[in-house]
Amino acid sequence: MTIPDSGFMLENGASCLPVPAADERRIVEGLTSKAEANLREGNLYYVVSYRWYSRWQMYVGQNNNQYSGQQPDLGSLNVAPYETADRPGPVDNTDIVSNESISEGDHVELRRMLEEGRDYVLVPQEVWEKILSWYGGGPAFPRKMILLGYHQKNFVVEVYLLRLKLTDARDNTHFFITLSRKATVVELYQKVCLLRSVNVTKVQIWDYFNKQKNSLLVSSNKTLEQENLQMDQDILLEVQTDGVLQSRAGMDSARNDLALVALEPSRSSMTIAGGPTMSNGHSTGFGIAQRSAFSSTSSCSEDGYNALSSSRGEKGGLAGLQNLGNTCFMNSAIQCLVHTPPIVEYFLQDYTSDINVDNPLGMEGELALAFGDLLRKLWSSGRTTIAPRAFKGKLARFAPQFSGYNQHDSQELLAFLLDGLHEDLNRVKQKPYLEAKDSNGRPDKEVADEAWKYHKARNDSIIVDVCQGQYKSTLVCPICGKISITFDPFMYLTLPLPSSVSRTMTVTVFYVDGSGRPMPYTVTVPKHGRSQDLIHALGIACGLRTDEGLLLAEVYEHKILRYMDDFMDLTSIEDDDYLVAYRLPNRGRGKMRLELTHHWLDRGVPDSLIGNAKKFSGTPLVTHLQEELLSGPGIIETVTKMLMPLRRVSFPSVVGFLKDKIDSTDKLSNSNCTNPEGNNDMDVLDEDDLLDDGPLPQLRLSLVDERGSNHKPITKDTVIRSGNIVRVVLEWTEREHELYDASSLKDPPEVHKSRLTVKKTRPEAISLFSCLDAFLKEEPLGPDDMWYCPSCKEHRQATKKLDLWKLPDILVVHLKRFSYSRYLKNKLDTFVNFPIHNLDLSKYIKSEDEHSYMYELYAISNHYGGLGGGHYTAYAKLIDDNRWYHFDDSHVSPVNESDIRTSAAYLLFYQRVNSTVTEPSASRVSA
């Protein structure tokens, strides 16, 4: 039922006025808190359009950043600011509804690739029912909460259900069905039988992935996730008639039966290259002669792999990976890792003695076994595309963050995989307890060797052997000068992308002490600098005194949107944003702030519309409120002082204006207007001289809440309660416009105004070495990352300096292209000029060992596109034939070395030159 905006109907048909906005907010927040306190599997949540929900949040005055941490594009929503937002209409979820129709009744699906906090929000069932009773609308998208995880269980709302394509073998008709991935095979049978009106005792359902009978889905309590069923994959229904299964599937055009591919052996008997198995499924032995057994016994049609179909003598390592639904991020990372020479060499040999099933931080060896099995298939001869379903199933179990069907980050996947493989293959069965010691002035080599010895005593695996290096980290206390030096292991280098290009930014500076008029300043700052760089440049431009500071803020819809601390990334500021800075005395730091916003009417508004036309205008003013001014008169005095720079140089007779109500707009446009007698030497009038019968009438000031509503007029009896910010609104009438020049409070200029014609320049390029320099640069810790100084016994904002002490044989470089902040998610497409050959890092190493620090590139993980709809691919080199290949999911093709350096490079994989481990040859893995 659709509820009209003017009210809603109760069940008995009685008309009722809408619930007040404040009550709606209170009810929803209470129900949400109650639901969060009672999390359990099976709880029901509803998917609601973020577009509609944002309108509702504005109407009730709720913080609309609580879901995403990302500032919404309010302009695109076409809604009014908080205090004037209209009551939204019926719930409208049409913008998140898929246009694709499916055949399962009247089921409506969500659009793919929706992002929580940007496209939708999740509300508990009780909240949805309340919203629906107030507004009506829909359609409804109920979703259950499920429990995911291995080491640590996490509650997750299953937004996207598993959709399967059912083929009825009797007539080859097709139907779509949707279930939870936590649904059992029994539930699948029940739903299919109900849909096709067949007896459950007379049917068989097959895993029909890639249109092949892979395995019979036996009716049991195993979940569909455990059966490795993927989004949009096929399943096959066979129905028994007179004791015979009626099926047209698996026949050629002449209705002759086609040979079925052999089923994969059960997981319990999975072997390492065909070796004998123990009861736990681990191989007890492996020999060179057994490699041929692997090629013939590990046939896995479920994975799209059939060793019998491989071409003899064809080089291994050139198989593609099928995309199982937005799994290109996983495919890209896996192809880089399975082309890492020492990793390949290790997993093609017998590694069963390293499997650590008792490690509480590991996955009982299952992740390592699944990865090893996948690697062997990829390195067997032939180019048959592999569908990594079994591996993805293990990944979803041990890393729920990668479950589901949305796009993820290849670097995050790689980090989890390396760490998980290490724990599964950790040769240390019982980790000793070791207490780290302070350097205490000891030589760096002694401290570093001791730290590495302690690390190896607890962590010893192939991953540590070839992928881990060591940092030297130096912290210095800014107060007492205490120096702390530690040596820590690392798995990869995450390098920032510094910009060699500057950026011009325009900021309006306000003199809130009454000493000057607002003035815009355009300054040049580093493109990827921080707020402190902008504040420093502004301070020089405006002649900031040593006893003053600048308070930087962003203005949106004539209100303060946010204050910017010294460490805020300037990339979070768009060119069309509005920035202001307030000159404040340093002695006021830490005191209460007074925010002054403005209400005024455009001239010519009829008296009958004045109440509705009132809105925020102009630019807010901010100052510190001294303790002795925490009262009504004190606020009036402070506001009057803030407005002093806006006083007109000379005034016409206010008395005449009040008596005759004449429009003095033309006179006010000239700051040197003359008196009625024509005397051009008219003296500037004091405010007390403006009226014959007393001083200037008092400003119309009101205290308001954070939304700018609940006005409380300020009088001499007003008392200010404790708090960080006092919010005040000034009502501008014709009188205030007569006394003050409000043009200086109009919208400030944009941060950067693009010119109509912009000269095209070549894309910005930086070197990998400049990224390293930025990474190793000394810098202060952020305010949220303070260091506890053992000398001061307090947390300090210490300076930190990183140095490279020990580098691994395999060096993974992560180019930090994605930046995330409270208000912005961004991707940098900067071209990084990285060496392919002879990457020499010796000048960055602080130790004095005799290792080679020359590296060769052998793989790249690429990311194309933006944050929402990007795509991952990989480049990898087969060293045996000295050729590069492009791995784009299933498609594998040769590529010239000159073409692999692009602005899409995201992860770089380097191998140390003269490393003792070589690339595995095709003969080692071919049949």
Is 455 a catalytic site residue? no
Tokens of 587: 């002695």
Per-residue pLDDT, 430: 86
- Strands 234-241 and 162-168 turn out to be parallel
Residue whose pair of structure tokens reads 């599937």 in the numeric block: 249
User: Which is more confident, 392 or 21?
Assistant: 392
Per-residue pLDDT, 260: 38
Per-residue pLDDT, 499: 64
CB atoms within 10 A of CB 711: 15
Per-residue pLDDT, 181: 85
To which H or E segment does residue 621 belong?
strand 616-624
User: Which is more confident, 886 or 848?
Assistant: 886
- Strands 725-732 and 593-600 turn out to be parallel
Instruction: Report the mean per-residue pLDDT for the chain.
Output: 76
pLDDT at 9 over 80: no
Beta-bridge mates of residue 343: none
Tens of pLDDT, residue by residue over 282-340, are 333 323 223 322 332 233 334 554 443 444 456 788 899 998 888 899 999 999 999 99
The active-site residue, picked from 328, 467, 542, 771, is 328
**Candidate from 164-168, 553-557, 643-647 with smallest mean pLDDT:** 643-647
Per-residue pLDDT, 848: 80
Question: Would you place residue 589 in the very low, low, confident or very high pLDDT band (cuts 50, 70, 90)?
Answer: low
Question: Would you place residue 755 in the very low, low, confident or very high pLDDT band (cuts 50, 70, 90)?
Answer: very low
Please report, rounded to a whole number, the percentage of residues in the chain having pLDDT higher than 70: 74
Per-residue pLDDT, 868: 61
**Candidate from 1-15, 781-795, 838-852 with smallest mean pLDDT:** 1-15
What is the rounded CA–CA span in Å between residue 674 and residue 681? 8
**Candidate from 114-123, 126-135, 147-156, 569-578 with smallest mean pLDDT:** 147-156
What is the rounded CA–CA span in Å between residue 579 and residue 266? 63
Question: Would you place residue 724 in the very low, low, confident or very high pLDDT band (cuts 50, 70, 90)?
Answer: confident
pLDDT at 819 over 80: no
Tens of pLDDT, residue by residue over 664-697, are 333 333 333 333 333 333 333 343 333 333 344 4
What is the rounded CA–CA span in Å between residue 408 and residue 330? 8
Per-residue pLDDT, 381: 65
Per-residue pLDDT, 588: 66
Mean pLDDT along residues 871-876? 94
Per-residue pLDDT, 912: 94
Is 771 a catalytic site residue? no
Per-residue pLDDT, 794: 87
Tens of pLDDT, residue by residue over 620-640, are 888 887 776 678 888 888 888
DSSP 686: P
- Interhelix angle 21-36/50-60, rounded to 10 degrees, is 120
What do you get for the CA distance between the two ends of the chain, in Å? 67
- Within a 13 Å sphere around the CA of 661, how many CA atoms are in the beta-carbon half? 1
Per-residue pLDDT, 530: 80
Per-residue pLDDT, 892: 92
Tens of pLDDT, residue by residue over 442-479, are 888 989 999 999 999 999 999 999 999 999 999 998 88
Question: Would you place residue 393 in the very low, low, confident or very high pLDDT band (cuts 50, 70, 90)?
Answer: confident
Per-residue pLDDT, 576: 82
